[in-house]
Structure 1
């Protein structure tokens, strides 16, 4: 079968979805479905991987759907320049397949070649070691246009077994430290030095991103986490000529005084605190540590408080979209889940807080690992709904856009047109 004919075959699940949603670009629908179903790399696709040229898996704070750390591409680029944050998935779970066609990697579904892809390019600093001898890529990693810092690869909500039901951070910490020699906790000075080395590749990166597990300790809960982030961001800031620099932190829902410190003492320009699911009952069920230490309503209040400090469009919260339908207590239908989720998201949007989604990837070492995620239609409809809320309430999302993140189908839509007309 020729490539041209393969791309025109009618009736594939992807093309059916494209016809149902003509207002959503095909590549965004494809990206969403690849995240939903995962990918499997053939031996030929892995053989195309050049570790000196491409990024390889292993540096992320969370694991893969097949639970394996192996030499594989970190992720994929589409021809429009956007990223797909993928997770390798066992073939028996019906993932998309990455294979070679005419010597180049392509996405296949049921033997049909759908779209040419490329592997993420490795930045120059990946080939270097830090002053302590640790590979720099294990201290700061990269997406195509973003520098990632994962300074603490543990979450203290797990101290009493109350980590989130979809989270495998502890399992990945053990695998990463054992198989890849990734430090569990980073030194702020060393982080700053590696960021400086990365920025020598001028024009490559558009933002600095920082996230880790929650740290409950301190005079007040989470003061230790705040102090650690401030120390890191101050070292990172030494590489910039201005006090503020393009940056995003995903952290715990902090108290207002803690947020004021974070904003005043560092160059941080945007703040995200992931509530994970917009329903109090499901939040309590799936995020028992967050519920114990902060609570659903207080989490939402702290997000709104953050808008006073960072400004509208600079504060958002993330959903692990799909967990609201999983398990015996999930919503009864996708229609109900959409209605309830978008209603809560609108309550936040009218107060200046944006909501973004990631497509849930059920991982084997988690409490929800045996469940399936939602349909492709559900994710498309949720993405459209969240984007519509940003348009309605005039909330820009540049700090978490397709350039600066690449993990949110809803924020990909923001590139299509101005959020509002002047």
Structure 2
């Protein structure tokens, strides 16, 4: 494995690089390799790429910006017309249909243009794939009694599979001494409000139930809802963190019992609080540990480290498996942040060695971590920096896949079908590699 140091300039992408990865990582589907490269680089949408025949769902900015430059600096319609995700297929590598989250970056080598009236993604002059944009659900045409649009209250992502309920669009870990260094939830809220967009900070239960009533009546694609938002350190709307977040699944499950699978992405809670969410109907729990190395956790997640602590966080993740069942505890980590400057590891090998220790720790207990590919967003503590090279993400996918297979673990529930051409999880390729047997 190459000893690649972190760089000030983003490591380049090229067709020869992708072909080298294709030869080196035959145990990984090419769909996953290309997906990770596009996620790390973002996409430059040419204005013509928005001139498509059919209406499509644009970015709802459902929690983070996932853009490489500030919203105010996006030009040529990218700030309002970029699709939530793309689904590419064909092209130089003959890709099966691959769903990828949109991360705007006008400096990306990946360019979305039109070819014969169809959006087509290019790397330099090479066609990487024909692109589809996600359709607009029929229920997006409604408006709540309070005047809210569905995409503001219960946006859908993962090509219609997941309803994403960010019920608190800020975080009480505030400022660089408490905020997670890679996270722009507070900054994204300010960006959206600054642009004059409707962007509700705390979502009303009744608004959510009203939108879900339309989903219930009109939609057969959405299978899961996620309840999430920023951390609550004191109280919010006169409720503790647990009570604030608990009101949402209680209301949803009372009105639509078992209509969708319920997920919770929140802090690592003690067992008795986890039981409250389980009793309310939550099936999947994501107490995200973000980065495995203890020193990096304390640097990159200073608020979590000071309020809860690394050892407590990890213990609570493990303990929660006794409540939900280990296969239903799926903590996220931010893939690539271990290489971030100034605190991260200096080489890919060191980063992967550390992260694999975390994967082995959890998977040996039946808990399957997932990851989001780190996007260096401009207003975060880490700011705009290089990010990892593609070889890091290939090594990470290999480490994840090998560890997952070595323990014979089941496919994580709540993510749809696994495998190339089927996976809809769009912010990393961990679902794309499941079940792939390799190529010659």
TM-score, normalised to structure 2, is 0.86
- Corresponding position of 1:229: 245
- Corresponding position of 1:258: 273
Distance 2:383 2:334 in 1: 13
Tell me, yes or no, if the aligned pair for 2:363 and 2:403 is still in contact at 8 Å.
yes
- Corresponding position of 2:373: 359
Distance 2:278 2:228 in 1: 16
1:297 is matched with which residue: 311, 315, 320?
A: 311
Displacement of 1:90: 2.5
- Corresponding position of 1:3: none
Tell me, yes or no, if the aligned pair for 1:33 and 1:376 is still in contact at 8 Å.
yes
Q: Deviations over 1:122-173 (max 9, x none)?
A: 1112121111011111000011111111110000011684101111111111
- Pair 1:201-2:201 in alignment: no
Distance 2:68 2:53 in 1: 20
Gaps of 5+ in 1: 1-9, 418-422
- Pair 1:75-2:78 in alignment: no
- Pair 1:188-2:219 in alignment: no
- Corresponding position of 1:7: none
TM-score, normalised to structure 1, is 0.89
Tell me, yes or no, if the aligned pair for 1:245 and 1:267 is still in contact at 8 Å.
no
Determine which structure has greater relative contact order: mean sequence separation of CA pairs < 8 Å that are 6+ residues apart, divided by chain length.
2
- Pair 1:19-2:35 in alignment: no
- Pair 1:166-2:178 in alignment: no
Structure 1 residues 251 and 49: CA distance shift in structure 2, 3 A: farther
SS at match of 1:269: strand
- Please give the residue correspondences for 1:126-141 in structure 2 after superposition, counting only pairs within 5 Å: 126-141=140-155
SS at match of 1:416: coil
Distance 1:162 1:200 in 2: 42
- Corresponding position of 1:405: 425
SS at match of 1:77: strand
Distance 1:29 1:60 in 2: 25
Tell me, yes or no, if the aligned pair for 2:31 and 2:432 is still in contact at 8 Å.
no
- Pair 1:65-2:86 in alignment: no
Gaps of 5+ in 2: 1-13, 72-78, 90-95
- Corresponding position of 1:101: 115
SS at match of 1:163: coil
Displacement of 1:49: 7.3
Distance 1:164 1:49 in 2: 41
Distance 1:237 1:33 in 2: 39
1:374 is matched with which residue: 388, 394, 408?
A: 388
- Corresponding position of 2:57: 55
Greater shift in the superposed pair: 245-254 or 174-183 = 174-183
SS at match of 2:167: coil
Displacement of 1:218: 5.0
Structure 1 residues 95 and 273: CA distance shift in structure 2, 3 A: farther
Tell me, yes or no, if the aligned pair for 1:320 and 1:357 is still in contact at 8 Å.
yes
SS at match of 2:120: strand
Distance 2:313 2:171 in 1: 17
Tell me, yes or no, if the aligned pair for 1:191 and 1:235 is still in contact at 8 Å.
no
Cα root mean square deviation, aligned: 2.2
Distance 2:248 2:215 in 1: 16
- Corresponding position of 1:420: none
Greater shift in the superposed pair: 274-283 or 197-206 = 197-206
Displacement of 1:81: 4.5
Distance 1:377 1:159 in 2: 33
SS at match of 1:78: strand
Distance 1:133 1:14 in 2: 47
2:263 is matched with which residue: 231, 238, 248?
A: 248
Tell me, yes or no, if the aligned pair for 1:106 and 1:113 is still in contact at 8 Å.
yes
Q: Deviations over 1:67-111 (max 9, x none)?
A: 2143321221134444201210122xx341111111111110112
Structure 1 residues 184 and 12: CA distance shift in structure 2, 3 A: same
Q: Deviations over 1:8-39 (max 9, x none)?
A: xx953222211221221111111111001110
Displacement of 1:294: 0.8
Structure 1 residues 223 and 95: CA distance shift in structure 2, 3 A: farther
Structure 1 residues 353 and 87: CA distance shift in structure 2, 3 A: same
SS at match of 1:162: coil
Distance 2:58 2:85 in 1: 8
SS at match of 1:150: strand
Distance 2:243 2:269 in 1: 12
